[in-house]
Amino acid sequence: MALTGNVDGLFEGVIHGWACRPDRPELRVEVVVRADGEDVVRATADLQRDDLAGHGIGDGRYGFEIPAPPGLAKFRLSVQFAESGEPIPGSFADNLSVARRLELPRAENPLVEELIAEDGLSDRQAGLVRQFARDGFLKFRVTDPAFDELADAAIAGVDWSSSNGIRVQDAWPEVEAVRRLASLPEVMDLLELLYGRPAVPFQTLSFRVGTQQETHSDSLHFSSRPGRFMCGVWIALEPVDERNGPLHYFPGSHRLPIYDLNDLGLLGDEASIEQNYEIYCDMLQAMIRAHGLHKQLALMDRGEGIVWAANLYHGGDPILDRTRTRYSQVTHYYFEGCAYYAPLSSDPFLNRYDRPDRRDVRTGRPIGHWFGTRPVGEADRADEPAILRAPPAARPLAARPLAARPLASRLRRFLGR
């Protein structure tokens, strides 16, 4: 009897994967989750998976979604074929390597070569991962045949009069083309390859012209635990050259430590936020000089894009020709199974976290905060820090979403590209 399948991951407290018998595709396979050698839950793999059907794997009804036992670390769980007792490929606990235990994006894991070997990546896939690991960014070309139509619709559909003449944030609820560009399957697949877990688009920025923004790191604006599970994707909706305000970036800067305000002796104080941000950007310039980093420009054709890591130093170059536009779209992504916060208005060492309320661009549903199988911020968690136990209405100002705070409009100027 030949069994096959995969454990895709543990996302928001649910184990996802698939299992089937290729020689008897009409049958449904039973799987079992074990913790510390004991059976804890069984389930039948019979959920519809269009991706499996699309790859010619039977009728596609081989998926499973199993709630994970609460409070158990992922590496203590094993997912097995119930009939044979063999671990399903990708199972968490079986022969788990040190590289796999490190909660870091695949391409930013210092043991990335071990992961490449363990995961059986193709030469092409391994090359992409290594390039992103080395540079902190990766250029690509959109191949979706609907791209030109989507790009035109995204430009025409955005209400540019509602912006500052530069950009419109989160047009995706009103403009379907913006939402679809943010969730292109080929981009989502690329991000999962680079990060080792599914991506979740949470913010879009539609640009009419370049921002000329000073060099910065997204890690100050969007951060996660486990760390570095955030990235940006920029897609050119028209050609970009040296004269209409291209992006610039510093290859390799993503490998530097992630610094926040506390590292500079500063607090996430709203009254000082602009001054703090200037000090932070000055620090980045000092790092660029100290490490001998060299700036590169992202010169792009329509339909080309770039993925960059959360800690890559980047910004916007000057606009030399003021008569030209630079239509483009940026999407920011989190990754499943993480907790998120805004370092610019948080003080982790004082246990003050600004946890933003974000929605999944694909569905409009809120994005939860998780650490493995544990939800972060549940009101009934007596063992969590007090700032996380407080219900939303009672949380201190520092733990409320930016959208609920008067300073939110001032913060937006720091988040452009």
Confidence at 95, pLDDT banded by 50, 70, 90: low
Across the chain, mean pLDDT equals 86
Tell whether 56 and 105 lie within a shared domain. Answer: no
**Structure token pair of residue 24:** 């008897």
Helix (H, G, I), strand (E, B) or coil at 374: strand
Tell whether 83 and 104 lie within a shared domain. Answer: no
| pLDDT at residue 319 greater than cutoff 60 | yes
**Looking at the DSSP assignment, which residues form a beta bridge with residue 334?**
200, 230
Whole-angstrom distance, CA of residue 142 vs CA of residue 303? 5
**Looking at the DSSP assignment, which residues form a beta bridge with residue 296?**
249
Tell whether 153 and 256 lie within a shared domain. Answer: yes
Average pLDDT over residues 2-24: 87
**Structure token pair of residue 14:** 């649910």
Phi, psi values for residue 358, rounded to 5°: -120, 155
Tell whether 267 and 371 lie within a shared domain. Answer: yes
Tell whether 388 and 269 lie within a shared domain. Answer: yes
Give the pLDDT of residue 349.
Answer: 86
This prediction has a pTM of 0.76
**Looking at the DSSP assignment, which residues form a beta bridge with residue 207?**
167, 328
Q: Residue 58 maps to which CATH number?
A: 2.60.40
What type of residue sits at position 121?
Answer: L
Nearest to 245 by CA among 302, 161, 324, 152: 324
227-270 tens-digit pLDDT: 999 999 999 999 999 999 999 999 999 999 999 999 999 999 87
Average pLDDT over residues 12-31: 90
Nearest to 219 by CA among 207, 208, 209, 228: 228
Helix (H, G, I), strand (E, B) or coil at 115: helix
Tell whether 44 and 102 lie within a shared domain. Answer: no
Last residue of a domain, which of 44, 73, 96? 96
Q: How far apart are the first and last CA of the chain?
A: 55
Number of domains into which the chain is organized: 3
Domain that holds residue 14: 4-96
C-beta neighbour count of 2 within 10 angstroms: 8
Give the pLDDT of residue 157.
Answer: 96
Last residue of a domain, which of 70, 96, 122? 96
Give the Cα-Cα-Cα angle 289, 281, 288 (nearest 5 degrees).
Answer: 15
Residues 156 and 206 sit within 8 Å (Cβ to Cβ): no
Nearest to 69 by CA among 374, 400, 304, 319: 374
Nearest to 220 by CA among 292, 287, 150, 306: 287
**Structure token pair of residue 232:** 């940006």
Nearest to 235 by CA among 308, 313, 342, 164: 308
Enumerate residues 6+ apart whose C-beta is below 8 A from 108.
133, 228, 254, 309
What type of residue sits at position 227?
Answer: G
Whole-angstrom distance, CA of residue 192 vs CA of residue 233? 13
Tell whether 120 and 250 lie within a shared domain. Answer: no
Return contacts of 399-402, CB within 8 angstroms, 24+ apart. Answer: 399/352, 399/353, 399/354, 399/355, 400/354, 401/354, 401/355, 401/356, 401/357, 402/342, 402/345, 402/354, 402/356
The H or E element spanning position 273 is helix 273-290
| pLDDT at residue 337 greater than cutoff 70 | yes
Using a pLDDT cut of 90, give the percent of the chain over it. 64
Tell whether 125 and 89 lie within a shared domain. Answer: no
Q: Residue 258 maps to which CATH number?
A: 2.60.120.620
| pLDDT at residue 392 greater than cutoff 70 | no
User: 């079986």: which residue's tokens?
Assistant: 94
358-388 tens-digit pLDDT: 999 999 999 988 776 567 764 333 333 332 2
Residues 284 and 313 sit within 8 Å (Cβ to Cβ): yes
Last residue of a domain, which of 86, 112, 134? 134
For residue 165, with 0-12 CB atoms within 10 Å meaning exposed, 13-18 middle and 19 or more buried, which class applies? exposed
Tell whether 79 and 105 lie within a shared domain. Answer: no
Sign of the alpha-carbon dihedral angle for 213, 216, 218, 222: negative
Give the pLDDT of residue 245.
Answer: 96
Give the pLDDT of residue 383.
Answer: 39
Q: How far is CA 361 from the centre of its chain?
A: 12
Nearest to 25 by CA among 64, 65, 52: 52
C-beta neighbour count of 117 within 10 angstroms: 12
Residues 69 and 374 sit within 8 Å (Cβ to Cβ): no
Tell whether 154 and 70 lie within a shared domain. Answer: no
Tell whether 91 and 186 lie within a shared domain. Answer: no
Confidence at 38, pLDDT banded by 50, 70, 90: confident
120-176 tens-digit pLDDT: 889 999 999 999 999 999 999 999 999 999 999 999 999 998 777 789 999 999 999
Residues 242 and 307 sit within 8 Å (Cβ to Cβ): no
Tell whether 264 and 341 lie within a shared domain. Answer: yes
Whole-angstrom distance, CA of residue 197 vs CA of residue 323? 42
Enumerate residues 6+ apart whose C-beta is below 8 A from 282.
none
